[in-house]
Amino acid sequence: MICVTIACGSHTRMINEHQALAADGVQLVELRLDFLRRSPELHRLLPSRPTATVVTVRRKQDGGLWNGTEEERLLLLRAAIAEQPEFIDLEYDIANKIPRFGKTLRVISYHKTNGVPDNLEELHREMLRKDADVIKIAVNPKSIADMFNFIAFIREKNAKAKKYGTKLNGDGGGVRVVGICMGESGKATRILAKKFGMPFTFATFSKDRIVAPGLMVYKEMLDLYHYELTDAKTKVFGIIGNPIGHSLSPLIHNKSFIEQKINAVYVPFPLDEEQVAEFIKFAPQWDIEGISVTIPHKVKVMESLTKMDPAVDSIGACNTVVFRKGERLGFNTDYLAAVSSIEIAMGGKPQDNPGILEGKTALVLGAGGAGMALVYGLKKRGAMVTVTDINASRAKEVSQALEVEMIDWSSRMSMEPAPDVIANCTPIGMHPNVEESPFERRAFQRKMAVFDAVYNPENTLFLKEAATRGCTVISGVEMFVGQACLQFKFFTGEKASASFMRKLVKNAISAAKE
């Protein structure tokens, strides 16, 4: 289950939030007494508590806000146990000073904010000797390897506890472990806590309440990542990139898993470039079966592939990795999705050969990863392609690599003859810079097909102005949904609902504007 942390300065607010969580179906709440501005009044907080409760009074050295003396804190913890909450959180170094009382279960905790302990086995044995019912270890890994190895340790301890029965369930002496990796990169460990055998994970009441690095809002854990539906058999997929907080991929994949009754979860993994290879190496340890790859790692990830689709090699970018039988297989679904959406809008069919793009002229604005994908896809379908970019050397590289024409960026609106297709693969016009366009209205001509890889906003200024000139316009939503559908098929073997994904994306974009 999810234990929702309430950390606020007011007794009244703490009580109100506790009642609100109970009304929302939350079963376990942590009261962070160290956040209260006045001395904690236990008679107000505990006797009438509406859910099972963990009482915590965290020291500053462990990331808390306790301002009193250590003697006062220990007295408060003993007084809290006298009220017999369901759980009391005790740091491992002071646990022997607080005797067991009544039916209150003991969470013995350890916090390390600068890495992972070298002696996890020894630490675990020492925490067991503190009369633990649950062990909680929170760390801040310095590397991807540290994170994966730490979770492997936690997973092993929980598997053994389950095998012999656990104290928490009253069916044995095994002690289950909550393992937390702090920070943005550690969010995945919170989302996957049930899969790793943890008895519960922690979340916060509100996004405005920063209690610990990487702590997520409980509603996001439940609604987006369907935490309560995950289990040891849940398949794991995800997205790597930096940044990825804005990505709608977790939304459309996770909602599609639920819609199609697939036991899987799609998790964000924010990575720096130097972490990519290490992540790809360790990913199978977490039963990760596939990942989406976004900016800026589409090129870097290629170094870690054992096999790649010919399109990946030609484009020089990979946006999909599938882990299968020890292989790391790379694909590019961007070019297929983009070109297919253009062909359909023009009245053709992607399966036609020759297709509607055969012999057409196309101008691609932007020579980055998306631009290369479009150049490759359009040429593959028989179009005569010209590429341009603000960075002339980058356009030249694409031109030479894919054997297409290039023009100077300043000449993009005076190309003769005018192209049949114009594709914007630059970030120009993307939210929040919605008043920008890479093309002037006057240069659009009737019957052009105009595509924009930008999907937020859906109706960019580039597309709006093209529409007023009688052009056929294709939004980036179609490419985004198309590439996601193809990834879904690679990941699960099942066909995704494009209409379902499209609705999710449009609703999310609309909600962001409000």
Which two three-digit tokens encode residue 472?
């056929």
Q: In what order do the strands lie in the sheet with 288-293?
A: 264-270, 235-241, 288-293, 320-324, 327-331, 307-308
**CA 305, 311, 317, 321: dihedral to nearest 10 degrees?**
-40
Which two three-digit tokens encode residue 434?
């919605």
Q: What angle do CA 137, 143, 146 make, to 5 degrees?
A: 45
Distance between CA atoms of residues 58 and 68, nearest Å: 11
Catalytic residue among 136, 253, 255, 360: 136
157 carries an active-site annotation: no
- The DSSP string of 160-196 is HHHHH-BTTTTSSSB-EEEEEE-SGGGHHHHHTTTTT
Whether 65 and 35 have beta carbons less than 8 Å apart is answered as yes
Residue 205 CB neighbours (<10 A): 24
Catalytic residue among 111, 167, 194, 300: 111
- The DSSP string of 66-132 is --S-HHHHHHHHHHHHHT--SEEEEETTTGGGS---TTPEEEEEEEESSB--TTHHHHHHHHHTTT-
Distance between CA atoms of residues 386 and 363, nearest Å: 5
235 carries an active-site annotation: no
298 carries an active-site annotation: yes
226 carries an active-site annotation: no
Catalytic residue among 34, 89, 133, 334: 334
Catalytic residue among 298, 300, 360, 379: 298
For 364, the 3-state DSSP assignment is strand
- The DSSP string of 211-239 is -STTPPBHHHHHHTS-GGG--TT-EEEEE
Phi-psi region of 115 (alpha: psi -120 to 50; beta: other; left: phi over 0): left
Of 184, 218, 252, the closest CA to residue 1 belongs to: 218
Of 414, 392, 410, 394, the closest CA to residue 402 belongs to: 394
Q: Which residues carry out catalysis?
A: 111, 136, 298, 334
